[in-house]
Structure 1
């Protein structure tokens, strides 16, 4: 069977990881990003740098869309010179960006009858998962389409969950997940600040939390960055989680589900993003530390 050709639109922290692992697994990979610096890094990885989204579309059988928001995703997939108008019939778009479920449904509906298939598959695992090829995918699509794209999806992930068969199903599951992750992060920030004010060393808190029932990848990563004072450049920009919590709360409002904890997390992230717009998730702790006049160091 002929090996699938892959494409990636959006070569930032997450998209560059997708590209890296596609190339590592010997898939011919085309890519496009508005940043020339990112395109340069992509070329160094061995990727085929395209001049436009349309060029990627004409060069690939399966294209991953890893952009920031629903408007960008819609433009890439449906816009003039987008994927739908330029991929060969039978091509597959894998929507790995996190957007509103309603936006994914709109894109799916607009693609109906185009001959181009959609897999709605947001991912979890962040920068380390993307770069290491260990992402968790929440994939929704027709069984035959999922099977066709499986080889390239397996190249970038460790676990693929089939969570539905239509556009929006993957984004809905991701919204639920992000409401939990955002809440865990925020509770960790507060606990770290409490420890700082009480004079407990960060190393002690990290060791105890990591080996307790509360220990998980989310809290461990947050604590490690907090006690090492790494608030920028860790691959987990605060704008992304802020956006994801906004999406989760928007879904909750539509469904009339009370979300007290996630709502509080949203406010903590909003404070962090307002004060430190270039920071990563853990910078929220600095905002709390500044209020209490204490910092948690290793």
Structure 2
């Protein structure tokens, strides 16, 4: 199996394509943005004119789009993957969408001869570009075994979290609940430090060497004190969307979410003021209210 497709060549999808090519796979890719397609071709990828062409030239296709409606259109649409991929192939859902949406896709694929691996990822832009993503994979064991080489090409760790469509997305929703809450707390701590006159480097040194230090908080604080609020590969729209999924799932099954709900409001304010910014721009909004900025 050497033919792989990637639908969605943004910050994450371009990393998938890059590492698949690096590992010797023939990769066909599709994106609506000409600049992304051009960059994909420069790394050795084969551009597709439409989804149909991706499906016809791949034994496995990674779907890395923004939301469930896009995923369903790509897979189940009139000219979607389900109508053009060969039997015995697999769709690897690396996009983060609602569990109910991936379950719907799974039901629609039954009897098609095409398998679905529900495997959202974590690691962000650095993980995608470096081929070190963590995958939360759900699917039949035999299918996960068969397509493991393809998934190994883009990841460092693959967790098998279930056998049913939706199991991967449930795990991702739980993870994003925690990550979003850590982000929110970090943004507030940074704003508090700025107003109190604390130096950003000193705050980072303490946070990163304490029990509170972790990759999520450290990365956020570094971008804040370096005033990097755009172009870091962590667009605020993605986390805003992910927290929406987490809270919708919690509402559906009746679980109160105090921290995630507060984090959602923090991200909502950041997205409303700076819709093209990255996650850390939430701190900028707080700083504007407080009249103080945190610099390194």
Q: Return the offset for 1:81.
A: 1.1
Partner of 1:152: 150
Secondary structure of residue in 2 paired with 1:30: strand
Secondary structure of residue in 2 paired with 1:128: helix
Return the alpha-carbon distance in structure 1 between the equivalents of residues 273 and 179 of structure 2.
Answer: 21
Return the alpha-carbon distance in structure 2 between the equivalents of residues 77 and 38 of structure 1.
Answer: 21
Partner of 2:76: 78
1:237-275 deviation per Cα after TM superposition (whole angstroms, max 9, x unaligned): 000000000000000000110000000000000000000
Partner of 1:103: 101
Q: Return the offset for 1:178.
A: 0.2
Return the alpha-carbon distance in structure 2 between the equivalents of residues 114 and 36 of structure 1.
Answer: 32
1:88-132 deviation per Cα after TM superposition (whole angstroms, max 9, x unaligned): 001100000000000010000011011110000000000000000
Secondary structure of residue in 2 paired with 1:84: helix
Secondary structure of residue in 2 paired with 1:229: coil
1:30-84 deviation per Cα after TM superposition (whole angstroms, max 9, x unaligned): 1001111100000000001111111010000000000000000000011011111
Q: Return the offset for 1:5.
A: 1.1
Return the alpha-carbon distance in structure 2 between the equivalents of residues 148 and 79 of structure 1.
Answer: 26
Partner of 1:23: 21
Which 4+ residue blocks in structure 1 deviate beyond 3 angstroms? none
Partner of 2:290: 292
Return the alpha-carbon distance in structure 1 between the equivalents of residues 31 and 140 of structure 2.
Answer: 29
Secondary structure of residue in 2 paired with 1:110: helix
Q: Are 2:216 and 1:183 equivalent residues in the alignment?
A: no
Partner of 2:191: 193
Q: Return the offset for 1:4.
A: 2.8
Partner of 1:169: 167
| 1:260-275 pair list within 5 angstroms | 260-275=258-273
Q: Return the offset for 1:179.
A: 0.5
Q: 1:130 aligns with which of 120, 128, 135?
A: 128
Unpaired runs of 5+ residues, structure 2, are none
Q: Are 2:263 and 1:251 equivalent residues in the alignment?
A: no
Q: Return the offset for 1:169.
A: 0.2
Partner of 2:41: 43
TM-score by length of 1: 0.99
Secondary structure of residue in 2 paired with 1:74: helix
Partner of 1:202: 200
Partner of 2:279: 281
Preserved CA contact (<8 Å) 2:237 2:271: yes
Q: 1:92 aligns with which of 85, 90, 94?
A: 90
Return the alpha-carbon distance in structure 2 between the equivalents of residues 259 and 247 of structure 1.
Answer: 12
What is the number of equivalent residue pairs in this alignment? 296
Q: 1:215 aligns with which of 213, 231, 244?
A: 213
Return the alpha-carbon distance in structure 2 between the equivalents of residues 207 and 93 of structure 1.
Answer: 43
Unpaired runs of 5+ residues, structure 1, are none
Return the alpha-carbon distance in structure 1 between the equivalents of residues 40 and 205 of structure 2.
Answer: 38
Return the alpha-carbon distance in structure 2 between the equivalents of residues 171 and 38 of structure 1.
Answer: 26
CA RMSD of aligned residues (A): 0.5
